[in-house]
Structures are given as structure tokens and as C-alpha cells.
């Protein structure tokens, strides 16, 4: 049976839209409700306790919108809150780590693995522990890049400042096979990162890998939307006084995105 209810997606800001974009490419018929917790941005510098609390509030908001499954489209919330919320809620909830680790495991050429993410994500060791347990012969290099998510919210992803910042953060990452963009804001810097590391390093956008897994979950749980029409999406923000609109219109190449943005009251 077709399940036309929307999928809920959650991030602290504009970053999760990189996941939404990939998800829509692979699952165009699904409806989506996106929540950007812009009022509490950035998540990357907050404690694990705060991240769990904010993630639960986000999930409760999405559940009120009658979503059928939830994507934690945020590396910081995935690494620190996913386990906890998966225990507490019955609805399928997936984060950005597992699908990417599974992908790397299957690509036997990718063993020198770089990870860049927020300070909270790197501190939590969410990526490191998962990779060590799944791919024991992987050699990891990792770095927290706290300036990148705020720069992405500002729309500074391709200018000189972005180039210099990327250069500085990526020192020491030249001998790797792949680089995981462990924060969903970072695909916005993909061009700069690829230029810096060269073509032989595979840059991994976690949203691409997650989109396929979510599709499998929907099929297994018979929750797929079988409509032949393109699904729609709505965006809720906890604070609308941001650059979100500008960055989102550029990323999604959608000039009518303004009509899709609403203020969310998350208590």
C-alpha cells in the first residue's frame, strides 16, 4: 500500500538540505518535512546532553506532522543522539554514519580514510568507533573544522576565505583515499575541497549513501510512496532571521523556496 505521509528530516540549519537534495534525487516521489533548528545553531560546539535534548524536541515536532520515518540529517546529532532516540521512539530513525561506513567497507580500495566534522562529532568518536569496528584495517585521520558550518550558513563556501580555511584544515590530509564529509554542511564546500585534495581522493557526501538505505527501509517496511508524481517539501525553521533562504535557493536551485519556509514553534 502506498504511504503518502512525509519523511521528516532534521538538522541545526541549512546543512541537512544537502541530504534532502540527494534524497530527492533518488526518491523523487516522497514528500518531505524538513526542520532546521536555526535558533539553536550551531550544534557542533554543544554538549552531548544538549544535543540529545534538542534532537528529541526536533523529533517530537516532526512526529506532530505525522511523518512516517525520520532522517537525522546532521552529523553532530547522529554521532551523539541517534542511539538514544532509536531506543526511545518506535518510528524508523536513521542517521548519516552507518550507510557511509558500509559503503567504505565494500570499497576495498578505500582504506586510508579522512574524516572532517564538527568539534562535537570528532570528540564523540562516533565515526572513529564505527569504522574501527566495521573496517579494522582502516587507517584514520580526522579533524574538527568548527568554522565551516557557520561559514556555510553565511554562504561563504566558494570565496577566498573558504579556500584558505579549507587549505588550513586539510593540511595533513594529502595521503588519503577518501574524505568523509562528516558534517552535512560540508558538501557545500565540495568544490574547494576537491580542488585542494585533487581528483584521486574520493569525497564522500553522506547524503548520497543514506538516500539509498532509506529507500530500502521504506520498501522493507512497506512505507514507500507509490505515487508517480513528484513529492513536495516544506521547510520549518525555529528562527527565520537567517541567511537560510539565500543559501537554500542556491543549493536547491529553487527560486520559489520562500513559499516553502515556515516558522516552527519547537518548545
Closest CB to ligand DGL belongs to which residue? Answer: 44
Stretch that binds ligand DGL, among 60-68, 165-173, 180-188, 218-226 (CB under 6 A): 180-188
Judged by CB under 6 A, does residue 44 bind ligand DGL? yes
The span from the first CA to the last CA of the chain, in angstroms, equals 34
Please state the closest distance from residue 18 (CB atom) to ligand DGL, in A: 8
- Residue 183 near ligand DGL by CB under 6 A: yes
- How far is 157 from 45, CA to CA, in rounded Å? 20
Q: Is 77 left (phi over 0), alpha (psi -120 to 50) or beta?
A: alpha
CA distance 186 to 120: 15
Neighbours of 247 (CB within 10 A): 22
Shortest Å, Cβ 79 to ligand DGL: 8
Catalytic site residue from 145, 178, 183, 192? 183
Ramachandran bin of 253, using left for φ above 0, alpha for ψ from -120 to 50, beta for the remaining angles: left
Distance CA 49, CA 70 (A): 20
Q: What is the largest CA-CA distance in the chain?
A: 51
Rounded alpha-carbon distances, angstroms, from residue 153 to 17, 116, 156, 243: 11, 17, 8, 6
Task: Tell me whether residue 183 is one of the annotated catalytic residues.
Answer: yes
Q: Which stretch, 55-63, 72-80, 213-221, 244-252, contacts ligand DGL (CB under 6 A)?
A: 72-80
Bridge partners, 205 (sequence order): 181
Which span sits near ligand DGL by CB under 6 A: 37-45, 62-70, 164-172, 191-199? 37-45
- 15 part of the interface to ligand DGL, by CB under 6 A: yes
23 counts as binding ligand DGL under rule CB under 6 A: no
Q: How far is the CB of 238 from ligand DGL (least distance, A)?
A: 12
Residue 149 within binding range of ligand DGL, rule CB under 6 A: yes
- Minimal distance in Å, beta carbon 87 to ligand DGL? 21
Catalytic annotation present for 192: no
Task: Assess 76 for contact with ligand DGL (CB under 6 A).
Answer: yes
CA nearest neighbour of 20 among 226, 255, 227, 236: 236
CA distances from 93 to 67, 106, 161, 267 (A): 11, 23, 36, 21
Binding to ligand DGL (CB under 6 A) within 117-136 occurs at 118, 121
Q: Which set of grid coordinates corresponds to residue 232?
A: 513536495
Q: Which one of 24-32, 74-82, 83-91, 193-201 is the stretch in contact with ligand DGL (CB under 6 A)?
A: 74-82
Nearer Cβ to ligand DGL (12/157): 12
Site residues (vs ligand DGL, CB under 6 A): 11-13, 15, 41-44, 74-76, 118, 121, 149, 183-185
Amino acid at each position: 500500500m502506498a504511504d503518502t505521509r512525509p519523511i521528516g528530516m532534521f538538522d541545526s540549519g541549512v546543512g541537512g538540505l544537502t541530504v534532502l537534495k540527494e534524497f530527492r534525487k533518488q526518491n523523487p516521489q516522497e514528500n518531505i518535512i524538513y526542520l532546521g533548528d536555526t535558533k539553536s545553531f550551531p550544534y557542533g560546539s554543544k554538549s552531548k546532553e544538549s544535543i540529545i535534548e534538542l534532537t528529541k524536541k526536533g523529533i517530537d515536532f516532526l512526529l506532530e506532522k505525522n511523518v512516517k520515518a525520520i532522517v537525522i540529517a546532521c552529523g553532530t546529532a547522529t554521532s551523539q543522539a541517534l542511539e538514544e532516540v532509536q531506543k526511545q521512539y518506535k518510528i524508523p530513525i536513521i542517521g548519516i554514519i552507518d550507510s557511509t561506513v558500509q559503503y567504505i567497507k565494500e570499497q576495498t580500495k578505500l582504506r586510508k580514510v579522512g574524516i572532517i566534522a564538527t568539534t562535537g562529532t570528532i570528540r564523540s568518536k562516533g565515526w572513529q568507533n564505527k569504522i574501527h569496528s566495521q573496517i579494522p584495517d582502516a587507517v584514520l585521520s580526522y579533524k574538527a573544522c568548527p568554522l565551516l558550518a557557520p561559514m556555510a550558513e553565511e554562504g561563504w563556501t566558494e570565496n577566498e576565505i573558504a579556500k584558505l580555511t579549507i587549505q588550513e584544515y586539510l593540511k595533513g590530509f594529502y595521503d588519503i583515499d577518501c574524505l568523509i564529509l562528516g558534517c552535512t554542511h560540508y558538501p557545500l564546500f565540495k568544490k574547494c575541497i576537491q580542488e585542494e585534495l585533487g581528483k584521486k581522493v574520493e569525497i564522500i557526501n553522506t547524503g548520497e549513501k543514506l538516500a539509498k538505505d532509506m529507500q530500502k527501509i521504506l520498501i522493507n517496511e512497506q512505507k514507500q510512496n507509490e505515487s508517480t508524481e513528484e513529492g513536495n517539501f516544506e521547510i520549518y525553521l525555529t528562527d527565520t532571521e537567517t541567511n537560510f533562504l539565500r543559501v537554500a535557493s542556491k543549493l536547491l536551485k529553487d527560486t520559489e523556496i520562500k513559499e516553502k519556509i515556515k516558522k516552527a514553534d519547537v518548545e
